[in-house]
């Protein structure tokens, strides 16, 4: 069987269709995942094993057989934990076939084939009955369906279906409960990842300001969560405006709803400031008493920061409020957590949401195009005034009043800098319709639509007519291209420079003029876990086959 997959060629920037073998999904999806990081997460493994062992004991104490349903089994680790803890049988569900095949081999290698049945289906397709995948409902539900946002991998719909069709009423669940926490902060650095700030350009005629279009300024931003290692963010980069607030909890042992909901918490700001960002994380309690807890809390909210488990498969969340709002110390407000079946978002209310009919229930989405073209690090780059000043300083050394400038980066504002510095004629090549539309809006907001020429073409297709018969004296790039997945993919600029060579005049300048790629061999304290082969799993004596993950 032949599989054709589309990929962006970082050299040419074009989308190409490549033939892959039947193992494509295995290599791509598993190698890019964090399976190894999860399996090296000792805290996670120990807590799960303790919780599973306690759940099995509670069922046995009632004189019942322990029948376990493991949804999203992955390597089969939690199922093997359950059998080792005394479970009579375990149904391990895994929808991703390459992973299910690996789980079958791992279960067999560890001698659990007689007590674990791997089912290669989505849990919503699993049937119960004499002719079904399971002869009867399970009385212990074990899952690890969580992502950094908790519900982003479809945990709520999966739990909802499982309680209705696959497990007994009031079953034991591991984890038993999850709680989502939030903290309101002011952070100019993080806020710069979501909004386009006015950009100041110092020219010989005085300061010029590049202002964002109105719809970009009012846009709530990208709908996806910004997951981050908050422990790596300097405390100097944000000001805490609220205590840590428990926003909502989910009891996994009872019927779970995937319907949209909102949960509010009243609080009094700890200090006055600008409410911009909500930092959020969660913990899971493996037992009903809450004695076995696994937390994602950053160091300042952790009960034992010296013994924190490093992990990259679960991090913390940064959510951006739709607009920044002033808050006054001691003046009560309501932080509201909204969620649907897959996503969480936050809003700030002056009155109790139950009394406010205008509470936004729909998930905010980008309607300005900027957040679709520029990712959050890119917003941070554009908003970096020091970076802008350095570009201006460099441009001053090469620009002349009669210069003809051609900018070849995606969605770049260098063309605006060049214009404000007095260049006679500026062209910018935008190969995508999205970047073309966004730049046209920015130019219009700054009254530049008739002063900078936008060419919607791939650079290699440029003609003399596109450049109005002019020869380019300055080829300019940041470089930044939306097709680049890794930093060195931006060397696409090298290809572009070659493609437009015929349009360069005698003595034309190219900026940047050179690039170098540096590498250094390091020893990581923690990051090696992401791609490390797995032998014996930390915290649990079971062997995970080394060839399970093709990473490295």
Q: Which helix (H) or strand (E) holds 48?
A: helix 42-61
144 part of the active site: yes
478 part of the active site: no
E-strand spans in 340-410?
344-349, 404-407
Structure tokens at 536: 């014996």
Q: Which helix (H) or strand (E) holds 143?
A: strand 138-143
Sheet holding 404-407, edge to edge: 452-455, 425-429, 404-407, 472-476, 504-511
Pairing of strands 177-186, 239-240: antiparallel
* Contact between 361 and 353 (Cβ < 8 Å): no
Q: Which of 274, 88, 67 is nearest to 191 (CA)?
A: 274
Q: Which of 408, 430, 428 is nearest to 512 (CA)?
A: 408
Distance in angstroms between the alpha carbons of the first and the last residue of the chain: 26
Positive or negative CA dihedral for 18, 19, 24, 25?
Answer: positive
Burial class (CB in 10 A: 0-12, 13-18, 19+), 514: exposed
- Alpha-helical segments (H) within 206-298: 214-218
Choosing from 19, 29, 125, 144, which is the catalytic residue? 144
Choosing from 16, 20, 153, 325, which is the catalytic residue? 153
Pairing of strands 67-71, 138-143: parallel
Active site residues: 144, 153
């Amino acid at each position: 069987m032949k599989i054709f997959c589309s990929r962006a060629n970082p050299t040419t920037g074009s989308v190409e269709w490549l033939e892959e073998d039947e193992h494509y999904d295995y290599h791509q999806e598993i190698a890019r995942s964090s399976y190894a990081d999860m399996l090296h997460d000792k805290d996670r493994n120990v807590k799960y094993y303790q919780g599973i062992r306690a759940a099995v004991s509670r069922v046995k104490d009632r004189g019942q057989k322990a029948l376990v349903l493991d949804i999203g089994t992955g390597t089969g680790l939690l199922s093997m934990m359950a059998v080792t803890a005394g479970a009579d049988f375990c149904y391990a569900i895994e929808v991703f076939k390459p992973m299910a095949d690996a789980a079958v081999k791992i279960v067999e290698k560890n001698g659990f084939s007689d007590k674990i049945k791997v089912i290669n289906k989505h849990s919503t397709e699993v049937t119960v009955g004499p002719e079904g995948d399971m002869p009867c409902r399970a009385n212990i539900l074990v899952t690890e369906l969580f992502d950094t946002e908790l519900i982003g991998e479809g945990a709520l719909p999966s739990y909802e279906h499982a309680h209705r069709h696959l497990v007994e009423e009031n079953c034991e669940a591991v984890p038993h409960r999850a709680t989502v926490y939030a903290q309101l902060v002011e952070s100019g650095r993080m806020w710069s990842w979501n909004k386009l700030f006015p950009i100041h350009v110092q020219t010989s005629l005085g300061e010029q300001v590049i202002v964002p279009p109105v719809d970009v300024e009012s846009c709530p931003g990208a709908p996806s969560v910004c997951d981050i290692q908050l422990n790596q963010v300097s405390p100097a980069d944000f000001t805490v405006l609220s205590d840590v607030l428990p926003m909502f909890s989910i009891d996994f042992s009872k019927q779970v709803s995937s319907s949209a909901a909102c949960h509010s918490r009243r609080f009094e700001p700890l200090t006055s400031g600008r409410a911009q960002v909500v930092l959020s994380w969660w913990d899971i309690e493996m037992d009903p008493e809450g004695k076995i807890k696994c937390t994602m809390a950053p160091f300042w909210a952790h009960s034992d920061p010296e013994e924190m488990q490093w992990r990259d498969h679960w991090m913390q969340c940064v959510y951006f409020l739709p607009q920044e709002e002033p808050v006054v110390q001691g003046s009560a407000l309501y932080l509201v957590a909204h969620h649907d079946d897959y996503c969480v978002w936050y809003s700030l209310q002056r009155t109790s949401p139950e009394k406010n009919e205008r509470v936004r229930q729909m998930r905010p989405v980008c309607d300005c195009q900027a957040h679709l073209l520029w990712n959050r690090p890119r917003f941070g780059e554009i908003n970096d005034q020091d970076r802008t000043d350095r570009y201006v300083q460099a441009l001053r050394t090469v620009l002349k009043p009669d210069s003809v400038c051609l900018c070849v980066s995606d969605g770049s504002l260098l063309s605006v800098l060049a214009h404000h510095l007095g260049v006679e004629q500026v062209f910018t090549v935008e190969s995508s319709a999205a970047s073309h539309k966004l730049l046209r809006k920015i130019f219009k907001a700054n009254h530049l639509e008739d002063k900078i020429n936008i060419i919607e073409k791939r650079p290699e297709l440029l003609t003399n007519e596109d450049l109005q018969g002019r020869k380019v004296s300055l080829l300019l790039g940041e470089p930044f291209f939306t097709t680049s997945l890794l930093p060195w993919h931006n060397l696409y600029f090298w290809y572009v420079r070659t493609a437009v060579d015929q349009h360069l005049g005698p003595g034309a300048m190219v900026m940047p003029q050179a690039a170098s790629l540096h590498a250094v061999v390091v020893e990581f304290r923690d990051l090696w876990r992401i791609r490390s082969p797995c032998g014996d799993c930390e915290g649990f004596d079971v062997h995970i086959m080394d060839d399970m993950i093709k990473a490295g």
